[in-house]
Amino acid sequence: MTQVTRNWTPNHGEPYRPVPYRPARMPAAESLARAAALRERMGRRRTVRQFAADPVPEQVVKDAIACAATAPSGAHQQPWTFVLVKDPEVRRRIRAAAEAEERRSYRGRLGEEWLAALRPLGTDEVKPHLTDAPYLIVVFRQRHWLGADGNRRKHYYVDESVGIAVGMLLSALHLSGLAALVHTPSPMRFLQEVLGRPANEKAFAVIPVGYPAPECEVPDLVRKSLDQVLVEI
């Protein structure tokens, strides 16, 4: 596959015109109330591995992707593509290829230290969520783009930018009432082939999206407290 996304330079390389940005200042009391409510709601987000086959309103998923695509990015290059996989046959192909890679990973490729880190979560090479969830969002990072002269041009801070966008995607999905899982089969090259993405795009994560299955269980894990993650100076 030699085709490369022909992308556009932000603003065609011209300086952006400054425009006023004057969002109404939120009163502190409202900020405090919203922040506390958001903290509580985000605290209830859980990674789900058992999905119901029930359909999900497609527009909710598309709106969440549109939210993700508002993420800040290096040089505003927006180096991402979100492939929304609805076709059950394509999901089956992705599952088969992912499980083949994961079998090799769990049977030795990960190494003992990595396997030990995963053991408390009980993950294994069987990935039913890839076919049970009604949608898969496969996120690709664009490592470079193709300039008008046909030469490759670098994108900057690609992993950071795409990571931020995925964080925003997970938040948007959760706040819209949907469950998700960030799945990172390794190596992920098969995704580029199955989904026919151009050579400049590399898969970043596969994100099954749907409702939790009625029998869904999650590990009773503990998050670090604010004290443990926040340093004030």
Q: Does 100 bind ligand IYR (CB under 6 A)?
A: no
* Residue with smaller CB distance to ligand IYR, 73 or 138: 138
Tell me the chain's radius of gyration from C-alpha atoms. Answer: 20
For the chain, the straight-line distance linking the first and the last C-alpha, in angstroms and rounded, comes to: 51
Of all residues in this chain, which one has the CB nearest to ligand IYR in the complex? 123
DSSP annotation string for 126-151: --THHHHSSEEEEEEEESEEE-TTS-
- Cα→Cα distances 196→22, 130, 200, Å: 43, 18, 12
* Segment near ligand IYR (CB under 6 A); pick from 53-61, 86-94, 144-152, 184-192: 184-192
Identify which of residues 73 and 130 has a Cβ nearer to ligand IYR in the complex.
130
Which range, of 14-22, 147-155, 182-190, 197-205, touches ligand IYR by CB under 6 A? 182-190
Among 3, 31, 70, 184, binds ligand IYR (CB under 6 A): 184
Q: Which stretch binds ligand IYR (CB under 6 A): 37-45, 68-76, 179-187, 189-197?
A: 179-187
User: In a 10 Å sphere around its CB, with 0-12 CB exposed, 13-18 middle and 19+ buried, how is residue 231 labelled?
Assistant: exposed
Question: According to the binding rule CB under 6 A, does residue 102 interact with ligand IYR?
Answer: yes
Min separation Cβ 47 and ligand IYR, Å? 9
Q: Which is nearer to ligand IYR, 95 or 183 (CB)?
A: 183
Question: Is-cis flag, bond preceding 187, omega within 30?
Answer: yes
118 touches ligand IYR by CB under 6 A? yes
Choose among 151, 159, 139, 138: nearest CA to 4. 151
Residues in the chain: 233
Task: Work out whether 123 is an interface residue with ligand IYR (CB under 6 A).
Answer: yes
Tell the smallest beta-carbon distance from residue 40 to ligand IYR (Å): 25
Other CB atoms within 10 Å distance of the CB of residue 187: 11
Distance CA 114, CA 103 (A): 14
Instruction: Please select the residue that binds ligand IYR; options are 11, 59, 70, 186, rule is CB under 6 A.
Output: 186
Binding site for ligand IYR (CB under 6 A): 102, 105, 118, 123, 183-186
